[in-house]
Structure 1
Amino acid sequence: MDDAAIPAEGASVSAAYRKFGRQEWAGLRANTPLSLSGEDIEGLRGLTERLSLDEVVDVFLPLSRLLNLHVAAARSLGLVQDTFLGQPAARPPYIIGIAGSVAVGKSTFARVLRALLARWPDHPKVELVTTDGFLYPTRVLEERGLMQRKGFPESYDLRRMIAFLSAVKAGEPEVAAPVYSHLSYDIVPGKQQLIRRPDILIFEGLNVLQAAPGATLLASDFFDFSVYVDAEERAIADWYVQRFLLLQRTAFQQAGSYFQRYKDLPQEEAVAVARRIWEEINLRNLRENILPTRERARLVLRKGPQHAVEEIRLRRM
């Protein structure tokens, strides 16, 4: 199945977006300064991603400028409503949702965006929360027969996720998010990430744009802006295998790693295992649940085979 088979590529959907080549998009940076050093960028990139200074300048700086303008506009609109209601002005957090496949580079994208947005003086307090913490614990997934569907919509505690986003948006003084360990492949008992009235919250995960059947509230109902990180299936599959092989030499070697059983596999077998996991779980989730949400995003970033963004689509207002 290739992208041409997805109805979302039809003319009606294309008309909803303005399409930019990389250089055209880069020109929208205007005079936005580069506030990250080469050392900063190196510390933010993912395991197998080639995050270059050019990528930050061409792609992230225009986006940070756009989002800075959106935050200011949202605050102005909020002030109008508060004035109408005759109540004290409030500044609820601006929430940005980031979606996309496993291994497409969402986490790196979210970290870089957070670092850049936090350097704008108007909104220095930027928090990043991933949906991994809202997965059901392994014990629950095993009881429900969902371990082979981990990352699918039904593997998340959606009620808890919605309650978290609702509390953050309502301006609660402190809101706790559960914490997930990629080493143990499970929720960390008793550990929490405390969110205290940020200016901006970045909420990153596979299915954050999911429209759950019959649900009265969706995670995306709380988003002020949303981004989908996109790439061809073949490229994402290659990135997934590369990451698996790197983790085999690093994290899988550690005591307590859920995937320690794979640590000594010969490379050929490790590649076969990685491709099987990709095809049976992650590719299926991408096709069934993640990719169909792409056209719900305000911004779509399309990556090429070297992880560099080649095309940007911005939804018309």
Structure 2
Amino acid sequence: MDSLRDEISPYRHFERNAWAKLRADTPMTLDQADIDELRGLNDRIDLAEVVAIYLPLSRLLNLYVAATQELFRATGKFLHAEGTKVPYVIGMAGSVAVGKSTTARILQRLLARWPNHPKVDLVTTDGFLLPNEILEREGIMNRKGFPESYDLPTLLRFLSDIKAGRRNVTAPVYSHLTYNVMPDKRVTVDQPDILIVEGLNVLQTGRPPRDGKIIPFISDFFDFSIYLDAAEDVIHDWYVTRFFSLRDTAFRDPKSYFHRYASLTDKEARATANRIWETINLVNLRENVVPTRQRADLILRKGADHIIHSVWLRKL
């Protein structure tokens, strides 16, 4: 049965050592200082992980980008519309606390050091969350991060402009300190070679319309998508560990939305983290995030040690 399942699976499965060999002669362009700069809170990534997992992935994406650029040039020639630069868009999905931001930043740095696509931008979908005042008015503040908490029309318009090759496309910016969208701040994306879009629900879809009308999804604008995966109980442990770290650092800032948690005892902090996980993040993970995993082009599976042990690459 297992052999049959593997035979009909849309993915090719690689154990860590087999995947690492696909690096070929890809040069290592990061050092320990880069890793320390890019690593997120409580992420334990090191140079060995970059060599084994991220260098082969950057090589694969470099080949895909080059092939897509050639295809775009051929299409432009056919349409007599040559010259417009359109970014290659990579989607990055996965749970809260699984390490998406670190993975996205490392890929951004590695891809930018390939000679044929030096400009790589990164945008998170946090900036497209509805402002807190709207979430509170709609009674869905406790569902922040769920699909309904995003300004989907604005996000789709942003991606549509990016894929149309428009210049100086702006996106809203989110503050994790104030836990809200920053009303007076925008980030500008100006025709990068590659754009990485990172977020919980970027692979989310809805039910197809019965009348056949086109309803675009975020993933419709992706050229490649990655899902960062780990076991549910492992992510839970990482979330609680991160909560403790934040209690001792960012939450101590009086401007922090979660400043009230800075004075919690260890017992209170653990109970609070577990409650938030079980009532919000776990529900979102089960209902909205994990069901999108099989839509990804690449699945990276982490173990409790934070190391990626398995890779699944969708067959062409």
TM-score range, shorter chain: over 0.9
Q: 1:25 to 1:103 in 2, by over 3 A?
A: same
- Alignment match, 1:88: 82
- Alignment match, 1:61: 55
Tell me how many residue pairs correspond in the alignment.
308
| 1:247 matched to 2:252 | no
Rounded Cα–Cα distance in structure 2 between residues aligned with 1:173 and 1:257: 34
1:146-185 pair list within 5 angstroms = 146-185=140-179
- Alignment match, 2:234: 235
- Alignment match, 2:110: 116
Normalised by the size of structure 1, how large is the TM-score? 0.95
- Residue by residue, what CA displacement relative to the aligned partner does 1:173-192 show, whole Å, maximum 9, x if unpaired? 11010000000000011100
Rounded Cα–Cα distance in structure 1 between residues aligned with 2:6 and 2:84: 38
Residue of structure 1 aligned with 2:196, choices 191, 202, 206? 202
> What secondary structure, in the 3-state scheme, does the structure 2 residue paired with 1:229 have?
strand
> What secondary structure, in the 3-state scheme, does the structure 2 residue paired with 1:97 have?
strand
Contact kept, 8 Å, 2:85 with 2:191, in 1: the verdict is no
Rounded Cα–Cα distance in structure 2 between residues aligned with 1:112 and 1:14: 32
Residue of structure 2 aligned with 1:125, choices 119, 122, 125? 119
- Alignment match, 1:42: 36
| 1:220 matched to 2:219 | yes
- Residue by residue, what CA displacement relative to the aligned partner does 1:23-77 show, whole Å, maximum 9, x if unpaired? 0000000000000011101111111011111100000000000000000000111
Residue of structure 2 aligned with 1:71, choices 65, 77, 81? 65
- Alignment match, 2:279: 280
- Alignment match, 1:264: 263
Amino acid at match of 2:283: R
Contact kept, 8 Å, 1:79 with 1:90, in 2: the verdict is no
Amino acid at match of 2:282: L
Contact kept, 8 Å, 1:78 with 1:91, in 2: the verdict is no
Normalised by the size of structure 2, how large is the TM-score? 0.95
- Alignment match, 2:289: 290
Contact kept, 8 Å, 1:124 with 1:199, in 2: the verdict is yes
Rounded Cα–Cα distance in structure 2 between residues aligned with 1:229 and 1:13: 23
* Percent of aligned positions that are identical: 56
Rounded Cα–Cα distance in structure 1 between residues aligned with 2:43 and 2:195: 24
Rounded Cα–Cα distance in structure 2 between residues aligned with 1:217 and 1:79: 24
Rounded Cα–Cα distance in structure 1 between residues aligned with 2:83 and 2:314: 30
Rounded Cα–Cα distance in structure 2 between residues aligned with 1:11 and 1:81: 37
> What secondary structure, in the 3-state scheme, does the structure 2 residue paired with 1:63 have?
helix
